[in-house]
């Protein structure tokens, strides 16, 4: 076997920073070659360097997950340069928070396009490699916001939609050795939650302290907390866990 065929290949979207970057680094530690996909190829270089300096293999790829042509080209490039991808982590995400009466159609469409259309296009592009390999793992990033959250009519709808998408993937792809699961994080300390604090005019430190006080384990999550769960869900031994939504929020959620 050549190196390209003996190593399993994963694609992580939105992997330039935050949860996606930590997940890419973790999967590389687990032995995967990792396609580090983000809007700009240059943005993924830092994650790729971190992986390579630890002895792993990675490739930065630029693509907008909501654009079908760019998605197809990105998946083809990963397949050609790293090998056929059989693990996909749909992590790319954006927020455009606003109360319903102030929410614009653009706020709505951007969030739907990145989370829902993006996960659909990426999964459609990657599934052929999984089916060919008779093995695959899909992990979709949902959120506790799927249960409802003030100011996030668009985001909570998209994150709830991803849970339905995940369950249908599990049903359709199960017979090909493919599992699909969703992770629904609570508060994770990233640029995304920092942007929320900035918008609310609260210093990030105070925002974190306030959030931690409400969480049973008394701390906010770190990107590595989610990367650890992804690592489990894509592992060989997790093959009987499919169609699940795992809330990773430092305490119970419905």
Instruction: Write the binding mask 139 to 178 for ligand NAD: x where contact by CB under 6 A, - elsewhere.
Output: --x-x-----------------------------------
Q: Catalytic residue among 155, 165, 187, 247, which? A: 155
CA atoms within 13 A on the CB side of 161: 16
Rounded Cα distance, 52 and 86, in Å:
21
In the chain, alpha helices (H): 3-6, 18-29, 45-53, 68-81, 105-112, 118-133, 153-173, 191-200, 204-214, 223-233
Interface residue with ligand NAD, options 28, 92, 178, 229 (CB under 6 A): 92
Instruction: For residue 65, state whether it binds ligand NAD (rule: CB under 6 A).
Output: yes
Q: What do you get for the CA distance between the two ends of the chain, in Å?
A: 46
Question: How many positions of this chain bind ligand NAD (CB under 6 A)?
Answer: 27
Instruction: For residue 27, state whether it binds ligand NAD (rule: CB under 6 A).
Output: no
Task: Encode burial over 49-85: b for 16+ CB neighbours within 10 A, e otherwise.
Answer: ebbeeeebbbbbbbbbbbeeebbeebbebbbeebbbb
Instruction: For residue 19, state whether it binds ligand NAD (rule: CB under 6 A).
Output: yes
Interface residue with ligand NAD, options 25, 30, 57, 64 (CB under 6 A): 64
Q: Which of residues 106-125 bind ligand NAD (CB under 6 A)?
A: 114, 118
Q: Which residues are catalytic?
A: 155
Binding site for ligand NAD (CB under 6 A): 13-14, 16-20, 38-39, 64-66, 91-94, 114, 118, 141, 143, 185, 187-188, 190-193
């Amino acid at each position: 076997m050549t190196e390209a065929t003996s190593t399993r290949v994963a694609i992580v979207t939105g992997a330039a920073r935050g949860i996606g970057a930590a997940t890419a680094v973790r999967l590389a530690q687990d032995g995967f070659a990792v396609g580090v996909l983000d809007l700009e190829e240059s943005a993924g270089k830092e994650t790729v360097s971190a992986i390579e300096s630890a002895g792993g293999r990675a490739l930065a790829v630029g693509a907008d997950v909501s654009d079908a042509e760019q998605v197809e080209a990105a998946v083809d490039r990963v397949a050609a340069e790293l090998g056929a991808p059989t693990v996909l982590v749909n992590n790319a995400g954006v927020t455009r928070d606003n109360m319903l009466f102030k929410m614009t159609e653009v706020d709505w469409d951007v969030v739907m396009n990145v989370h829902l259309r993006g996960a659909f296009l990426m999964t459609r592009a990657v599934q052929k490699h999984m089916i060919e390999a008779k093995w695959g793992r899909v992990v979709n990033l949902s959120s506790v916001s799927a249960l409802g959250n003030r100011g996030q009519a668009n985001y909570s709808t998209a994150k709830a939609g991803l849970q339905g998408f995940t369950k249908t993937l599990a049903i359709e792809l199960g017979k090909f050795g493919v599992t699909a699961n969703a992770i629904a994080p609570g508060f994770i300390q990233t640029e995304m939650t920092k942007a929320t604090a900035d918008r609310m005019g609260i210093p990030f430190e105070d925002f974190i302290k306030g959030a931690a006080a409400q969480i049973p384990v008394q701390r906010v999550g770190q990107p590595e907390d989610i990367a650890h769960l992804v690592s489990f869900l894509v592992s060989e031994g997790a093959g009987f866990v499919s169609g699940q939504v795992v809330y990773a929020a430092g305490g119970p959620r419905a």
